[in-house]
A and B are shown apart, each in its own frame.
Chain A
Amino acid sequence: MCRNGSDRMAALFSPPLYLQRYQFVIEYVKRFIPRKVIDLGCADCGLLRKLKFHRNAIEVLAGVDIDCAALRERVNALAPLTIDYLQPSPRPLTIELYQGSVTEREPCTQGFDLVTCMELIEHLQLWEVEGFSNVVFGYMNPCAVIISTPNVEFNPLLPGLRGFRNKDHKFEWTRAEFQTWALGVCMEYGYSVEFTGVGVAPGQNRDVGFCTQIAVFQRDAGVSNGPVNNAVQMEPTVYRLLYRVVYPSLCDNNIFQRTLVCQVLYRAESLKREFELGEQSMQSDLTACAHSLPPDVVAGSTVVYRHRSHVFVPLQHVWTDPKVQALCGNIHRLRQALMDDSRVQLDTDRDAIILPDEGEEEEDEEETGECEEGNLTPSPVVDNSEEDWETEIG
C-alpha cells in the first residue's frame, strides 16, 4: 500500500521514497540492535525482505497485514536461501506472517523490541486510530515503535495531485496533527517520541517539512524485554498464521554438529592429502631409502602420521582452520563435540582423527567383476546368419 502514490513521487526522490523509509528502519535496527521486530501493515513484505539481509541481531521477524493475497504474493522471497542451508548462521531466525487487523489484540504480538508501522495509519478510519494506539502501545507495549505517515503539507509540491495521495487514504495529517496525536500517545502509555522524516522538499520549499513524517517512540523506563524464547512457538489465537519459517542455524544442535563434522573432516582430509603428497615426492626423490624412514608414531604427536593402514591427523592441526575455530571457540569444545559423533573416529587419547588410508583399497574391480549372476535363464541365441534384412524391406 505504501507504494501506490510512488509514481507521482518517483520523479521527485532518488532513491524512491519507499526505499528511503526502509533505509530509515534499517539504520534504526543497526543502531539499536533489536532482536524481535514486527512490521504492521507489511503488505508484500518489502521491509521484511530488506531486514532479512540487514538483520544485525534480529531473531524474530514478523509481519502483519489484513490482506492475505498481498502477504502471500512474495512470501517465497522470505524463505531461506540455498546458502542459508550450506552455511547456517550462528544466530537463529524465525520469520512469521500473520493475517489480522492492527486494531485487534493478538498475544503473539507481545514482547517485541521494535514495532514498525509504515504508511499504515492513514488507511484506518480516524475513529479507529485510538483503538490502534491502544493495541500497539497499550497492549503490544514494545520497547520502540516507528510510525510513518504522509505529511499533507507537502502535497502541494506533488505535481498533479488532487485530494489524498492514495484513494484508500482516510486522512492525511499535517505535522501538527501527527505530533499532537503522537504526544497524546506518549502521555497515555508512557513513551517518549522524536519526530523526523524522509523526502526533503526541493529548493525553497523546505518549510513544508518531509514528504513522509516519521515518529520514533521509545518506551519510558527503558526496561528491555526478556530473552527471546525460541523453544516455545506460540500459535496465534486472534490472527491467522499464514507462514512461518525457521532458518537453519548453528543453535540447532543437529545442524551445528553436522556443519562442524563436515568442516573438520574436510580439513583433516586435506591435511592427509598434503601428507600423502609429501610422502610421494619423498619417494620419488629418494626412491631407495624412503621406506626406511621411520614414521613418527608418538602419541600426542603434532604432525600427521601413518600407523598401520590409517592416517592420523592431530586435532591441533585441524584446529588451525579458522572456520573450525569460529564454530567451536576452543579446542576442548571441539574434542567434546567430536567425541560423541559417529562420523568421526578419534584415537584413544582423543588427540587425533583417524582416517582410513585409501591407497590400499583401490582396485578390487577385477575380483568383483567375476561374480556371476547364476540362476538367471539366458534368453535363447538366435542364429542370425540366415537373416537378410535387405530382402525383408520389400
Chain B
Amino acid sequence: MTGRARARSRGRARGQETGAPGAQPPPSEEAARPVPPPSAEGELVGRGRQRRAPGAVASEALLQISAGFQQVKIGERGGRRRDFHDAGVHTRQLMEHVKESKTGVSGSKIELRANFMRLLSRPQWALYQYHVDFKPPMESRRLRSALLFQHDETLGKARTFDGAILFLPHRLHNTVKFVWKLKVERVQITVTLTNELPPSSPVCLQFYNIIFRRYKMLNMQQIGRHYYNPDDPLNIPQLTIWPGFVTNILQYESSIMLCTDVSHKVLRSETVLDFMYNLRKQCGDQRFPDACTKELVGLIVLTKYNNKTYRIDDIAWDHTPNNTFKRGDADISFKDYYKTQYGLDITDGNQVLLVSEVKRMGPSGAPPPGPALLIPEFCYLTGLTDKMRNDFNIMKDLSSHTRLTPEQRESRLNRFITNISRNTEAQNELSTWGLSFENKLLGLTGRVLPAERILQGSRTYDYNPWAADWSKEMRGLPLISSMPLESWLMFYTRRNSDVAQSLLQTLNRVSGPMGIRMQRAVMIEYEDRQESLLRALQQNVGPDTQMVVVILPTNRKDKYDCVKKYLCVDCPTPSQCVVSRTLSRPQALMTVATKIALQMNCKMGGELWSIEIPLKQLMIVGIDCYHDTAAGKRSIGALLTLLCVFSGALKAYWKYNNCLPSRIIVYRDGVGDGMLQSVVNYEVPQIMQSIKTMGEDYMPKLTVVVVKKRIASRFFARIDGKLTNPPPGTVIDTEVTRPEWYDFFIVSQAVRCGSVSPTHYNVVFDNSGLKPDHMQRLTYKLCHMYYNWQGIVRVPAPCQYAHKLAFLVGQSIHKEPNINLDDFLYYL
C-alpha cells in the first residue's frame, strides 16, 4: 500500500466541444425544431435491434486525450447500437492462466440464492432465420405479414416477422415458395434459410429479451430501458415512486438465465415550468439564469405528449413558444405546433425553451437530427436533483420506501416469478417457442473469505466478521504512525463557540491514546458569511499551518466549497470541515471526535492501520470518474493516474520506495454499461504505454480490474432459517459470472438495513500470473484499507479514494488541486 496513487484531475464539460456527428450548430430559429411526433411510419426499436449484426458493439467509440490535462474522453456511443450488457467483449481467452478455471478456493462454502432464473429449452433448440422475398415487391408491411401468415400449416404458430426477416424455432425443408393470388396479381413469396442461430448467439439472446418483455410488461409503463407499475405508486411529498423490475436475459457461466431485480423509478408531478417559477421566487431575477442552468442541466425530463425521455443539455434563453421552426415547407410556431398536433395549450408564452441534444439516429440510420427544443410547461422532471440528494429527510423517506430487506426483496422477486408463470398468454407464447423458465431463484454455492487481521503498530486484532467494523476494537490503540499536530487552527461562528470549545477538549482527550500529539489549536471566530469566512482563512492560514478545522453552522454547500477551494487550490493546507449539528449531542461527541482525529491524521499523512498483503513491490491504482450532472458534464471527471499522471505515480513510488513496483494492479471504477470495450481497447494500452516511458527494460506485471457497483445481481443467504444478506467476504465466481470474462463478485461490506449489493470485478487484463484465489483475496483485503471508515467498504480502498477525490474536485473545487497536496489524503 505504499504507492498510494493519486493525481490531479479536473472536470470538464463535454458535448460543448464535440457535437454528435451531423448535429446541427446551436439552435437558431431555423435549425430549432421540436421533437418529432411519433410518426405513423416510425420504425420499431425492437425490430431495428434485431436486424443488427450479431455481437456488434458500438464501433463509434472514440477516445480522445486532451492536451492539457490527462483526461480521457469517452466518445459518444452510437445511439441505439450501444450494448448495455457488454456482450462480445472477450477478455478471458487472452489470459492463459484463467482459461481452464477462474475460481478461487479459500474460505468456507456457503449456500446462496441469486436473483437469476434458468432458461430451459429443448436440447436441440435453435432459432432459424429466414429471408422472405415478395415478388412483385410489396409496399405494405401489414399486407406482407398477412400474406405470409396465411401459411400457418407450413410455418407453425411460433414466428416473428418484421417484413423481411422471419424467425422460426424449426427448420423448413429447403427454400419454400408460396404463390398467392391477390385479385389480378400473382404474388410469389420465397422463404430462404439464411442462418441457424444457436441458443446462446447474441441474436437469440436479443430475441429472448424481446419475447419476454412483450408479456411481462402488461400494465407496465416503460421509462427509459425499464418497466414500472403505475397502478401502485408510493408517494412522498413532491415525489412519486413507481416500483418495477429490471430484467435481462444473458448467457451466464453455464446457462442462459434471466436476471431480474426490483427497481424503483422516482418521478415528479411537477413540470419544469413550475420548477422555474419556484426557483425564480427563491433566488430572484438576477441569480435566476445561473441557478436555473445549474439545477436543470443534466436532468432527465419526460414529455407530456409522448413517453420519451430527454436530457436537458442547455436552456435556450432567447427562445419562447412563439418562435417558429420549419415543418415541411412552412414555418410554424411551437405554440401552434403543439396546439394542432396534440391539442395542448401553452399558458405561458414567455417561458424559455429547453435544449436537448438528440442522440438517437434519425430514421434508417440518418445522422441524429440535431438539438430538440422542448417546452418547459410540457416537461416533467424525473429523478432527484442534487439538492434533494442532500436533503436528509427526502432521502430518509425515499429509502424507507425503496430499501428492501433480503426477505422483502426475495418475496417481491418470487411474486414476479409467480406472475409470469401464471400469465397463460406469456406461458403459451414461450412454450410455442419451446422455451420455459425454471420457476425458482437460482441456488448456488459461494465462499466466505476468512476475516482479515488488522495490524496497528505492534498490535493486531480481529473484528466481528458480521459487523465488518473495527471502530470499537481500535479504540485506545496507538496508530501505526501519526503526525504531531503543532500548529493548527479552528474556525467557528459565535453561536458555535461552546461547541468548538468542547470539540477541542474532546479531541485532546481522544488523541492521546491514539498516539497523536496535539498542541492547543488557535481558535478563530468568524462571522456567519462566506466572505468573512474566506477573509478569516486568508488572514490566518500561513505556510506553517498543518491543519485547519472549520465548524460550519449549516450543511450548506457554498461555505464548504469555499473552504475547500481556498485550501486545496490557492493555499494548499489540509482541512477538516464539521457541521455544528454533528457536534451538538454530547453523548456522541467522543465518537465524532475520534473520527475527526483519525481523519485529520490521515489528511496530514499519518497511517492508521494495515493488513498483511503477501506480495512485494506492489503498486495499486484506483481510477474513478465523477459524473457531474449539475454542471452538465456527462462522464468526464477526475481520473486518478493515466498516462503522464500514471508515470507520475510511478515516480512517486520511486521516491518513497527507491525502486519501481514489480506489480501494478489497477482498479478501474466508474465504467458505465456498454463502455467495457473502450476500456479494453483504449485505456489498457495507454496504461502500458505510460509504463514504457519509465524505461524500455522496465516491465512490471500489470493487472487491470474493472469494478462495478451498480449491478442487478443480488445474493441471499439462509442463516438460522432466516433469509439474510451474505456475510462480508462472500465471493461468487461460478454460475452467475460470464464465460467470456475473468470475473467474480464480492460482498465485502455489511449493511444495517436493506439488501447488500455485491460488487462485480472483471479482470480485463492480467499478465501477473496471480491465481484467481489471490486476486479475490487481494481485492477483499484492499476493501479494508479505507481510512475514512473503520470497517470494510464496497470497493478496494484506492477506488474509494479516487471516488472521494473525484467527487471533491467535481462538486466543490472545480479546479485542479494544488500539486503540493498530492502526497496526502487531503481529500478525505
Question: Is A153 an interface residue, CB under 8 A from the partner?
Answer: no
Ranked 9 nearest A-B pairs via Cβ: A54-B343, A85-B230, A384-B612, A265-B237, A269-B237, A53-B342, A387-B614, A266-B237, A382-B450
The residues of A that contact B729 with a CB separation of less than 8 Å are: 379
B108 within 8 A of A: yes
In the assembled complex, B392 has its CB within 8 A of some CB on chain A: yes
Q: Distance (Å) between the CB of B231 and the closest chain A CB?
A: 8
Task: Annotate A253-266 by CB proximity to B: 1 below 8 A, 0 otherwise.
Answer: 00000110111011
CB within 8 Å of A: which of B201-259? 221, 223, 230, 233, 235, 237-238, 240
Query: Does B306 sit within 8 A of A, measured CB to CB?
Result: yes
Among residues 600 to 621 in chain B, which have CB atoms less than 8 Å away from a CB atom of chain A? 611-612, 614-616
Neighbouring B residues of A269 by C-beta, 8 Å: 237-238
Question: Residues of A contacting B585 with CB < 8 Å?
Answer: 363
Partner of A87, one of B149, B269, B464, B591: B269
Assuming A85-B221, A378-B462, what are 6 further A-B pairs, CB within 8 angstroms? A85-B233, A266-B237, A287-B494, A384-B612, A385-B612, A393-B769
Point out the residues of chain A lying under 8 angstroms from B495, CB to CB. Answer: 283-284, 287
Residues of A within 8 A of B305 (CB): 53, 81
Q: Could you tell me the distance between the alpha carbons of A80 and B219 in the complex, rounded to whole angstroms?
A: 10
Q: What 0/1 readout, one digit per residue, does chain B (29-40) give for beta carbons within 8 Å of chain A? A: 000000000101
Q: Which residues of A contact B616 (CB under 8 A)?
A: 390
Q: Which of A355-394 contact B (CB under 8 A)?
A: 358, 362-363, 366, 368-369, 372-373, 375-376, 378-385, 387-390, 392-394
Q: How far is the CB of B112 from chain A (nearest CB, A)?
A: 15
Say whether, besides A261-B235, A262-B235, A390-B615, A83 and B770 are in contact (CB < 8 Å).
no
Q: Which of A179-201 contact B (CB under 8 A)?
A: none
Stretch at the interface among A69-77, A231-239, A331-339: A69-77
Residues of B within 8 A of A (CB): 38, 40, 107-108, 139-140, 142, 145-146, 149, 182-183, 221, 223, 230, 233, 235, 237-238, 240, 267-269, 302-307, 328-329, 340-344, 380, 392-393, 448, 450-453, 462, 464-467, 469, 494-495, 528, 553-554, 581-582, 585, 588, 591, 611-612, 614-616, 719-720, 727, 729, 752, 768-771, 774, 778
Q: Does A69 lie within 8 Å of B142, measured CB to CB?
A: yes
Residues on A with C-beta less than 8 A from B145 are 69
Shortest Cβ distance from residue B812 to the other chain A in the assembled complex, whole angstroms = 22
Bound state CA distance, A284 and B615, in angstroms?
56
Please, which residues of chain A bring their CB within 8 A of the CB of B448? 379
Which A residue sits closest to B242, measured CB to CB?
Answer: A85
Q: Who on chain B is nearest to A263 by CB?
A: B269
Query: Which residues of A (258-278) have their CB < 8 Å from a CB of B?
Result: 258-259, 261-263, 265-266, 268-270
11 sampled A-B residue pairs with Cβ under 8 A: A23-B340, A26-B343, A81-B305, A82-B221, A85-B233, A284-B495, A373-B466, A384-B612, A384-B614, A389-B778, A390-B614
In the complex, the answer to whether B38 meets A77 with C-beta atoms within 8 Å is yes
CB pair A389–B774 under 8 Å, yes or no, is: yes
In the complex, what residues of A have CB within 8 A of residue B142's CB? 44, 69-70, 73
Chain A residues with Cβ below 8 Å from B588 are 363, 366
- Count the A residues whose beta carbon is within 8 Å of the partner chain — how many? 65
Task: From B340, B343, B393, B612, give the contact of A55 (CB < 8 A).
Answer: B343
* CB proximity of B595 to chain A, nearest CB, Å: 10
Docked-complex contact A82 and B230, CB < 8 angstroms: yes
Whether A167 is near chain B, meaning CB under 8 Å from some CB there, is yes
Determine whether A229 belongs to the interface, using a CB cutoff of 8 Å to chain B. Answer: no
The answer, yes or no, to whether A221 is at the interface (CB within 8 Å) is no
With A85-B233, A262-B235, A379-B729 known to touch, is A368 a contact of B752 (CB < 8 Å)? yes
Please give the distance in Å from B510's CB to the nearest CB on chain A.
Answer: 15
Find the A residue at minimum CB distance from B185: A167
List the interface of chain A (C-beta within 8 A of B).
Answer: 4, 7, 14-15, 23, 26, 44, 46, 53-56, 67, 69-70, 73, 77, 80-83, 85-87, 167, 248, 258-259, 261-263, 265-266, 268-270, 280, 283-284, 287, 358, 362-363, 366, 368-369, 372-373, 375-376, 378-385, 387-390, 392-394
Residues of B within 8 A of A4 (CB): 140
- Complex CA gap A283/B778 in Å reads 52
Given known contacts A86-B269, A284-B528, A378-B465, A369 and B612 CB-to-CB distance under 8 angstroms: no
- For residue B183, which residues in chain A have a CB less than 8 angstroms away from its CB? 167
Residue contact B344 to A284, C-beta cutoff 8 Å: no
A393-B771 Cα distance, complex, nearest whole Å:
7
Cα A223 to Cα B595 with chains together (Å): 81
Closest to A391 in B: B614
User: Which residues on B sit within 8 Å (CB–CB) of A390?
Assistant: 614-616
Q: What is the distance, in angstroms, from A123's C-beta to the closest C-beta of chain B?
A: 13
Q: Which of A69, A81, A387 contacts B306 (CB 8 A)?
A: A81
Chain B residue nearest to A248 (CB atoms) is B230
